[in-house]
Protein backbone atom coordinates (compact mmCIF):
# COMPACT_ATOMS: atom_id res chain seq x y z
CA UNK A 1 0.00 0.00 0.00
CA UNK A 2 1.04 3.59 -0.36
CA UNK A 3 2.36 5.59 2.54
CA UNK A 4 -0.51 6.41 4.87
CA UNK A 5 -1.30 10.05 5.42
CA UNK A 6 -3.02 9.73 8.74
CA UNK A 7 -4.97 6.85 10.17
CA UNK A 8 -8.42 7.49 11.54
CA UNK A 9 -9.09 6.01 14.96
CA UNK A 10 -11.56 3.23 14.19
CA UNK A 11 -13.48 3.68 17.45
CA UNK A 12 -13.96 7.40 16.78
CA UNK A 13 -15.05 6.64 13.22
CA UNK A 14 -17.49 3.94 14.36
CA UNK A 15 -18.98 6.34 16.90
CA UNK A 16 -19.26 9.00 14.19
CA UNK A 17 -21.04 6.48 11.93
CA UNK A 18 -23.57 5.65 14.63
CA UNK A 19 -24.24 9.37 15.08
CA UNK A 20 -24.54 9.84 11.30
CA UNK A 21 -27.12 7.06 11.03
CA UNK A 22 -29.09 8.31 14.02
CA UNK A 23 -29.07 11.92 12.80
CA UNK A 24 -30.33 10.82 9.37
CA UNK A 25 -33.05 8.50 10.76
CA UNK A 26 -31.34 5.40 9.34
CA UNK A 27 -31.13 1.99 10.97
CA UNK A 28 -27.68 0.89 12.16
CA UNK A 29 -26.98 -2.37 13.92
CA UNK A 30 -23.59 -3.64 15.11
CA UNK A 31 -23.55 -6.01 12.12
CA UNK A 32 -24.24 -3.21 9.63
CA UNK A 33 -21.68 -1.00 11.36
CA UNK A 34 -19.01 -3.64 10.74
CA UNK A 35 -19.83 -3.77 7.03
CA UNK A 36 -19.81 0.03 6.64
CA UNK A 37 -16.40 0.10 8.33
CA UNK A 38 -15.18 -2.58 5.95
CA UNK A 39 -16.37 -0.81 2.80
CA UNK A 40 -14.97 2.49 4.07
CA UNK A 41 -11.56 0.88 4.40
CA UNK A 42 -11.80 -1.06 1.13
CA UNK A 43 -12.60 2.00 -0.95
CA UNK A 44 -9.99 4.06 0.87
CA UNK A 45 -7.40 1.52 -0.28
CA UNK A 46 -8.55 2.02 -3.87
CA UNK A 47 -9.17 5.75 -4.10
CA UNK A 48 -6.78 7.15 -1.48
CA UNK A 49 -4.11 4.47 -1.88
CA UNK A 50 -3.85 3.89 1.85
CA UNK A 51 -5.71 2.19 4.64
CA UNK A 52 -8.24 4.31 6.50
CA UNK A 53 -7.33 2.80 9.87
CA UNK A 54 -4.61 0.59 11.30
CA UNK A 55 -7.12 -2.13 12.21
CA UNK A 56 -7.49 -5.01 9.76
CA UNK A 57 -10.80 -6.88 9.43
CA UNK A 58 -11.04 -10.54 10.37
CA UNK A 59 -13.01 -13.02 8.23
CA UNK A 60 -15.80 -13.99 10.62
CA UNK A 61 -18.80 -16.12 9.62
CA UNK A 62 -21.05 -13.07 9.05
CA UNK A 63 -18.43 -11.20 7.05
CA UNK A 64 -15.57 -8.84 7.88
CA UNK A 65 -15.31 -7.84 11.54
CA UNK A 66 -13.07 -5.36 13.30
CA UNK A 67 -12.27 -6.86 16.70
CA UNK A 68 -12.03 -3.52 18.56
CA UNK A 69 -15.52 -2.55 17.37
CA UNK A 70 -16.92 -6.00 18.14
CA UNK A 71 -15.58 -5.68 21.69
CA UNK A 72 -17.19 -2.25 21.99
CA UNK A 73 -20.68 -3.31 20.79
CA UNK A 74 -20.80 -7.09 21.40
CA UNK A 75 -23.59 -6.96 24.00
CA UNK A 76 -25.85 -5.03 21.62
CA UNK A 77 -24.79 -7.34 18.76
CA UNK A 78 -25.68 -10.45 20.74
CA UNK A 79 -29.10 -8.95 21.48
CA UNK A 80 -29.55 -7.78 17.85
CA UNK A 81 -30.16 -4.24 19.11
CA UNK A 82 -30.23 -1.12 16.99
CA UNK A 83 -27.61 1.44 17.97
CA UNK A 84 -29.51 4.54 19.13
CA UNK A 85 -29.03 7.48 21.46
CA UNK A 86 -31.42 8.86 24.08
CA UNK A 87 -34.16 11.25 22.92
CA UNK A 88 -32.89 14.13 25.08
CA UNK A 89 -29.47 13.94 23.46
CA UNK A 90 -28.37 16.90 21.27
CA UNK A 91 -27.54 14.72 18.31
CA UNK A 92 -26.64 17.51 15.89
CA UNK A 93 -24.13 19.10 18.26
CA UNK A 94 -22.60 15.73 19.13
CA UNK A 95 -22.39 14.75 15.46
CA UNK A 96 -20.56 18.00 14.63
CA UNK A 97 -18.19 17.49 17.55
CA UNK A 98 -17.43 13.95 16.36
CA UNK A 99 -17.00 15.09 12.76
CA UNK A 100 -14.45 17.68 13.86
CA UNK A 101 -12.59 15.12 16.01
CA UNK A 102 -12.02 12.87 12.98
CA UNK A 103 -9.93 15.60 11.35
CA UNK A 104 -10.69 14.30 7.85
CA UNK A 105 -8.96 15.77 4.86
CA UNK A 106 -11.09 16.71 1.83
CA UNK A 107 -10.37 13.46 -0.02
CA UNK A 108 -11.25 11.31 2.98
CA UNK A 109 -14.44 13.28 3.58
CA UNK A 110 -15.58 12.99 -0.05
CA UNK A 111 -14.78 9.28 -0.15
CA UNK A 112 -16.63 8.52 3.08
CA UNK A 113 -19.64 10.51 1.88
CA UNK A 114 -19.66 8.34 -1.27
CA UNK A 115 -19.39 5.14 0.76
CA UNK A 116 -22.32 6.18 2.92
CA UNK A 117 -24.43 7.14 -0.10
CA UNK A 118 -23.81 3.74 -1.62
CA UNK A 119 -24.12 1.42 1.40
CA UNK A 120 -26.14 3.15 4.14
CA UNK A 121 -29.57 2.21 2.80
CA UNK A 122 -28.79 -1.50 2.45
CA UNK A 123 -30.02 -3.81 5.20
CA UNK A 124 -27.45 -5.74 7.24
CA UNK A 125 -28.37 -9.04 5.62
CA UNK A 126 -27.69 -7.71 2.16
CA UNK A 127 -24.30 -6.34 3.23
CA UNK A 128 -23.43 -9.76 4.69
CA UNK A 129 -24.49 -11.37 1.40
CA UNK A 130 -22.41 -8.84 -0.52
CA UNK A 131 -19.23 -9.46 1.47
CA UNK A 132 -19.80 -13.23 1.18
CA UNK A 133 -19.93 -12.93 -2.61
CA UNK A 134 -16.63 -11.06 -2.83
CA UNK A 135 -13.07 -12.37 -3.07
CA UNK A 136 -11.40 -10.76 -0.01
CA UNK A 137 -13.64 -12.48 2.55
CA UNK A 138 -13.71 -15.79 0.65
CA UNK A 139 -9.93 -15.84 0.27
CA UNK A 140 -9.41 -15.32 4.01
CA UNK A 141 -11.95 -18.02 4.91
CA UNK A 142 -10.56 -20.60 2.51
CA UNK A 143 -10.68 -23.98 4.25
CA UNK A 144 -13.18 -22.85 6.89
CA UNK A 145 -16.67 -24.31 7.09
CA UNK A 146 -19.50 -21.74 6.75
CA UNK A 147 -20.02 -21.25 10.50
CA UNK A 148 -16.50 -21.98 11.71
CA UNK A 149 -14.89 -19.49 14.03
CA UNK A 150 -12.31 -17.72 11.90
CA UNK A 151 -10.17 -14.84 13.07
CA UNK A 152 -7.87 -14.78 10.05
CA UNK A 153 -7.01 -11.21 9.07
CA UNK A 154 -8.18 -10.26 5.61
CA UNK A 155 -5.53 -9.14 3.15
CA UNK A 156 -5.52 -5.39 2.53
CA UNK A 157 -3.72 -6.06 -0.75
CA UNK A 158 -6.48 -8.42 -1.87
CA UNK A 159 -9.10 -5.87 -0.81
CA UNK A 160 -7.42 -3.11 -2.82
CA UNK A 161 -6.86 -5.27 -5.91
CA UNK A 162 -10.38 -6.72 -5.84
CA UNK A 163 -12.25 -3.42 -5.50
CA UNK A 164 -9.93 -1.71 -7.96
CA UNK A 165 -10.76 -4.46 -10.49
CA UNK A 166 -14.47 -3.69 -10.03
CA UNK A 167 -13.81 -0.09 -11.03
CA UNK A 168 -11.78 -1.13 -14.05
CA UNK A 169 -14.63 -3.40 -15.24
CA UNK A 170 -17.36 -0.80 -14.74
CA UNK A 171 -18.49 2.25 -16.61
CA UNK A 172 -17.36 5.79 -15.64
CA UNK A 173 -20.84 6.43 -14.19
CA UNK A 174 -20.50 3.54 -11.75
CA UNK A 175 -16.94 4.63 -10.91
CA UNK A 176 -18.18 8.07 -9.93
CA UNK A 177 -20.62 6.44 -7.51
CA UNK A 178 -17.93 4.08 -6.14
Q: Do residues 41 and 123 lie in contact, with contact meaning Cβ atoms separated by under 8 Å?
A: no
The least confident of 5-19, 103-117, 163-177 is: 163-177
pLDDT at 1 over 50: no
Instruction: Convert the pLDDT of each residue in 22-31 to its tens digit.
Output: 888 888 889 9
pLDDT at 86: 58
Query: In angstroms, how far is the first alpha carbon of the chain from the final one?
Result: 19
Instruction: Say how far apart CA 61 and CA 87 lie, in whole Å.
Output: 34
Q: How many CB atoms lie within 10 A of CB 34?
A: 26
How many percent of the chain have pLDDT more than 70?
84
* Tens of pLDDT, residues 52-70: 999 999 999 999 999 999 9
Amino acid sequence: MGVHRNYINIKLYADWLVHYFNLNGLHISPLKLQKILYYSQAWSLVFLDHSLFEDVPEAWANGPVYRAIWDEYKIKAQRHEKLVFENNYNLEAEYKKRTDSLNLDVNQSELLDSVLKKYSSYPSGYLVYLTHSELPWNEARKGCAPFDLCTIPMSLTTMKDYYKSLIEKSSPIVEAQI
